[in-house]
Structure 1
Amino acid sequence: MMKPSITCTLLAAGLLSGCSLAPTYERPAAPVAPAFPVNAPAASGTAAPAATDVKAAVDTGWRDFFADERLRQLIGTALENNRDLRTTALRIEEARAAYNITRADRLPNVNAALSGTRARTPAFRSGTGEAVVGESFDAGLSLAAFELDFFGRVRNLSAAALAAYLATDEARRAAQISLVAEVAKAYFTERAFAEQQALAQSTYEARRRTYDLTRQRLDVGASSLLDLRLNETLMETARASALALARQRAQAENALTLLVGAPPAQAASGAMADDRRIDAMSSLPEGLPSDLLARRPDIRAAEQRLLAANANIGAARAAFFPRISLTAALGSSSPEFSQLFDSGTKTWSFVPQLTLPIFDAGRNRANLNLAEVRKDLAVADYERSIQVAFREVADALAARAYLADQVAAQRAIQDAQADRLRLLQLRFENGVASSLDVLDAQRELFEAQQQLVQARLLRTTGAIDLYRALGGGLQ
């Protein structure tokens, strides 16, 4: 009779003596330059922020990175209500459940059972010439087809499921970072449209007053019809711009509402102010090392998918080797329920089974080839993810290098145009300059003001893109 302790010893040996046939994992070399390209230096007239350390600038959580309290509220609401992010979170729960199912296969499943049977045997089969009604009762514990994982098949399947779960979790982090960045960009875009609309509306009001004055001057013969039509053109141009910007602002609000996942609690107000934390991105030094990309969740997710593919190769290789499984039961059986656990009713069974693949029509070989091809695909996906991330950071660094100078230049243009208009108005009042010169200066000042707002928006969104591309955005 085989003692239960012998069965436990065999189970422990099977659990502890397994080996893995998965290839030794080696992280592929990053197919990018060791450092990001050095672009033109930042504007010499721009004051450098105090924080110059890469870690201090990038490791800052979004609550500290964005100083606008209204924006922080919107981002917090988006992280709670955004449907895309909610779907990603559910994907994590799905992957976690799949991993728990696979991990359970590494441990024996022990079941307890209690059953009773009552059956009638016909007279011609009973051997006694009379029908017999018999009863039997059984109770016990059973171990059903537990695989001794000598070649690591189950272990590698569990490792693959774990890597898939971790990849899904990293994908959620990447989605959160992208959502934070998109909400911030949508918010500042709406603020830029609001600022441009306010400029266009104030310009329209000023030109309308000028138009009314010109019409009064025309009535008394102090002005010409040409001056009136020119003023009317400028007035209606400003009105058309204000209406177009109002439409764009409304659409930007709708886009922001979609990202947030709920209607804003209150309408945004105020101008698009420059943010000192966003400006801190301009203090990052040139020639940043490209290994900063390792901090990005999407890169880590791609590597976890590669690890899963590597583990699946081990599971596919193990299918070529014998598979050993154990089935065992321990209990008692009795014709009377009241005597089920009496002395002499004990039962046990022990059924080891070895399965050796002999002919499978090439199925195992095809599964191994499939696993190897999927690993090659995972390597290509990993390398592609690094290249895309490298380009995103390089583009953001290039934008940072030039947009600060562009904003400074555009502000200088606006100041020059404002001073030009002031001087022309003085000359016009003294009869030296014509009204056409004044109208032309008003038009160019309006264009300079609108372009300055756009340049500031590009600089802000560029800093947000750099913050996201380097892996920032988590709290």
Structure 2
Amino acid sequence: MSIVKTITGHIFTASIIAGLLAACSIGPDFKRPQSPKVENYTPTPINLGGSQRISEDGLVNQQWWHELGSAKLNALIDEALQANPTLIGYQATLRQADELYAAQAGSSLYPQLGANVGGQRLRSNPGILSGQSGDTQEFSIYNTSVGVQYTFDLVGGNRRALESLAAKVDYQRFQLEGARLTLTTHIVTTAVTQAKLAGQIQATEAILQSQEEQMELTRERVRLGQADRDDVLALQVQVEQTRASIPPLRNQLQQNEHLLAVLTGRAPGNGEGPSFSLHEFTLPADLPLTVPSVLVRTRPDILAAEALLHAANAEYGVAIAQLYPQLTLSANLGSQALTTSALFGSNSAIWSLVGQLTQPLFNPGLPAQKRAALAAFDAAAASYQNVVLESLRNVADVLRALDNDTQRLTSLSAVDVATQESLESIRRQYALGAVSYVGLLIAQQQAQQVRVALVEAQAQRLIDSAAFYQAMGGNEG
């Protein structure tokens, strides 16, 4: 018992000394970068018309895709968030980072305790050393011991190393959040694009049907001598051009269907997925715009870059700590005897206490490592600044895209209304015999051509609305 007290007393004294030496960690403490000084993303205001409005200082709904009003889309995204392989990979990487932190914490924050049990068989001749002959003796030695070792964190190098690993855990967490945001945006964009292509195919097929009917009527007029064969050839060119435009649209539609299957973790051949139409989507009425100072605290890619900057700062502290002394204390308590029954006797106890203080005196590599760590920190700071600037540009681009979408959609909607009114007028005239059937077919084709452009503009407005949520970080601040 007195031996145990002696060892414990030495360890306790060394711990107090090390604690006093380690009152603060070496190297600079990390400070979050300052928020951007700008207040606006674009030099001039954005006008989204009456269908949408910018809500400043708003909070982005974590499930922002619900704002589009499609139950099928919500179900598809829920499925993807559970089964997408990319997300599963990011989740595994985050678990790995957590375990690496736990492993480092376990080996640096706490003493290492180990037990040893051993035995050896020896053969010895005591007379060899004195030059005399004697009988050879064989005997066994058994030993058992418990050892403890601890390296004191005198200047906080271990704490800086843990700080770096914690920052890397944060980095992987923000990477996962960014992957979720990218996935949901990708699914929304693909679903809307699928709806757009389906609408364009439908309108193009209606145009084709009208052109074919017009061509057949012209052929009949040629047979009756009321038209020239060149008129048929000109219409045939239009028909074949329209027919040729449908397979590329259908190919894009099928590729979008395959992409949706893969995004949800399914093989393209494993059954048909949901089909979408533009009519089932609702344009979000309010777009919550966060100011730049809030954006840098909520957007995953910016937070990931900040975490890497934090890790680089901590690793610089680790490099500095390597220039300072290191104190290691180890103790062993055990017993040694010639028989196993005597291992735990009062006369078999052995113990040792070793303290080791090391200080690098001449090692040119350590200052170079310090300078390299500082350069890595400068690179991380520049990378962070670039990510912030690119994020601000991304938001500005999306806002401008929405502004231009509004203007284009407003113009095409007005054209569509006018075209439909003209078509109704021509139908009435055709009923009265004032307009030929060919004239009615031409008016129907013009209306469908406008509808193709209108469908594309409506889809782009929805896609850019999804891009807005992604630009805002798609997360509550």
Same fold (TM over 0.5): yes
Instruction: Indicate the SS of the match to 2:296.
Output: helix
Which amino acid in structure 2 is aligned with residue 454 of structure 1?
E
d(CA) in 2 for partners of 1:349, 1:441? 102
User: What does the per-residue CA deviation read over 1:196-229, in whole Å, with 9 as the maximum and x for residues that have no partner?
Assistant: 1111122222332333333334333344434433
Q: Which piece of structure 1 moves more, 161-170 or 113-122?
A: 113-122
Is the 8 Å Cα contact of residues 281 and 463 (structure 1) preserved in structure 2? no
Q: Structure 1 residue 327: deviation in Å? A: 1.4
Which amino acid in structure 1 is aligned with residue 274 of structure 2?
A
Tell me what 2:318 maps to.
315
Q: 1:74 aligns with which of 43, 51, 76?
A: 76
Tell me what 1:34 maps to.
39
Q: 2:124 aligns with which of 104, 117, 121?
A: 121
Tell me what 2:187 maps to.
183
Q: 2:152 aligns with which of 148, 151, 162?
A: 148
Structure 2 counterparts to residues 50-199 of structure 1, below 5 A: 52=55, 54-56=57-59, 58-62=60-64, 64-104=66-106, 105-122=108-125, 125=128, 129-144=134-149, 146-199=150-203
Tell me what 2:244 maps to.
240
Tell me what 1:273 maps to.
279
Is the 8 Å Cα contact of residues 293 and 390 (structure 1) preserved in structure 2? no
Instruction: Indicate the SS of the match to 1:130.
Output: coil
d(CA) in 1 for partners of 2:48, 2:87? 38
d(CA) in 1 for partners of 2:314, 2:407? 51
Structure 2 counterparts to residues 181-260 of structure 1, below 5 A: 181-260=185-264
Which amino acid in structure 2 is aligned with residue 111 of structure 1?
G
d(CA) in 1 for partners of 2:432, 2:227? 16
User: What does the per-residue CA deviation read over 1:228-268, in whole Å, with 9 as the maximum and x for residues that have no partner?
Assistant: 33443333333222222111211222333333331365433
Is the 8 Å Cα contact of residues 120 and 131 (structure 1) preserved in structure 2? yes
Is the 8 Å Cα contact of residues 52 and 286 (structure 2) preserved in structure 1? no
Q: Report how many aligned residue pairs link the two structures.
A: 467
Instruction: Indicate the SS of the match to 2:155.
Output: coil
TM-score by length of 2: 0.88
Is the 8 Å Cα contact of residues 234 and 443 (structure 1) preserved in structure 2? no
Taking a change above 3 Å as real, the CA distance of residues 124 and 256 of structure 1, as seen in their structure-2 partners, is farther
Taking a change above 3 Å as real, the CA distance of residues 66 and 139 of structure 1, as seen in their structure-2 partners, is farther
Q: Does 1:295 align with 2:298?
A: yes
User: What does the per-residue CA deviation read over 1:171-199, in whole Å, with 9 as the maximum and x for residues that have no partner?
Assistant: 11111111111111111111111111111
User: What does the per-residue CA deviation read over 1:113-164, in whole Å, with 9 as the maximum and x for residues that have no partner?
Assistant: 11122222246547671211121211221023x2111111111111111111
Instruction: Indicate the SS of the match to 2:139.
Output: strand
d(CA) in 1 for partners of 2:323, 2:311? 20
d(CA) in 2 for partners of 1:316, 1:40? 49
Q: Which piece of structure 1 moves more, 242-251 or 181-190?
A: 242-251
Taking a change above 3 Å as real, the CA distance of residues 98 and 288 of structure 1, as seen in their structure-2 partners, is closer
Is the 8 Å Cα contact of residues 7 and 331 (structure 2) preserved in structure 1? no
User: What does the per-residue CA deviation read over 1:290-314, in whole Å, with 9 as the maximum and x for residues that have no partner?
Assistant: 4323101211111111111111111
Tell me what 1:263 maps to.
267
d(CA) in 2 for partners of 1:398, 1:200? 30
Instruction: Indicate the SS of the match to 1:273.
Output: helix
User: What does the per-residue CA deviation read over 1:38-76, in whole Å, with 9 as the maximum and x for residues that have no partner?
Assistant: 5454354x2457x946534x1342463343222223222
Q: 2:415 aligns with which of 413, 416, 421?
A: 413
Which amino acid in structure 2 is aligned with residue 254 of structure 1?
H
d(CA) in 2 for partners of 1:408, 1:388? 30
Query: Mind listing any 5+ residue stretches in structure 1 that lack a counterpart?
Result: none
Q: Structure 1 residue 437: deviation in Å? A: 6.5
Instruction: Indicate the SS of the match to 1:55.
Output: coil
d(CA) in 2 for partners of 1:228, 1:430? 27
Tell me what 1:379 maps to.
381
Query: Mind listing any 5+ residue stretches in structure 2 that lack a counterpart?
Result: none
Is the 8 Å Cα contact of residues 116 and 135 (structure 1) preserved in structure 2? yes
Is the 8 Å Cα contact of residues 39 and 401 (structure 1) preserved in structure 2? no
d(CA) in 2 for partners of 1:28, 1:16? 31
Instruction: Indicate the SS of the match to 1:294.
Output: coil
d(CA) in 2 for partners of 1:266, 1:67? 22
Which amino acid in structure 2 is aligned with residue 328 of structure 1?
A
Which amino acid in structure 2 is aligned with residue 366 of structure 1?
A
RMSD: 2.9
Q: Structure 1 residue 390: deviation in Å? A: 0.9
User: What does the per-residue CA deviation read over 1:330-389, in whole Å, with 9 as the maximum and x for residues that have no partner?
Assistant: 1222111011111122211000001111111x1110110011001101111111111111
Q: Does 1:396 align with 2:398?
A: yes
d(CA) in 2 for partners of 1:385, 1:459? 26
Which amino acid in structure 2 is aligned with residue 142 of structure 1?
G
Which amino acid in structure 1 is aligned with residue 213 of structure 2?
R
Taking a change above 3 Å as real, the CA distance of residues 194 and 125 of structure 1, as seen in their structure-2 partners, is farther
Q: 1:306 aligns with which of 306, 309, 317?
A: 309
Tell me what 1:328 maps to.
331
Instruction: Indicate the SS of the match to 2:279.
Output: coil
d(CA) in 1 for partners of 2:9, 2:155? 22
TM-score by length of 1: 0.89
d(CA) in 2 for partners of 1:43, 1:110? 67
Tell me what 2:348 maps to.
345
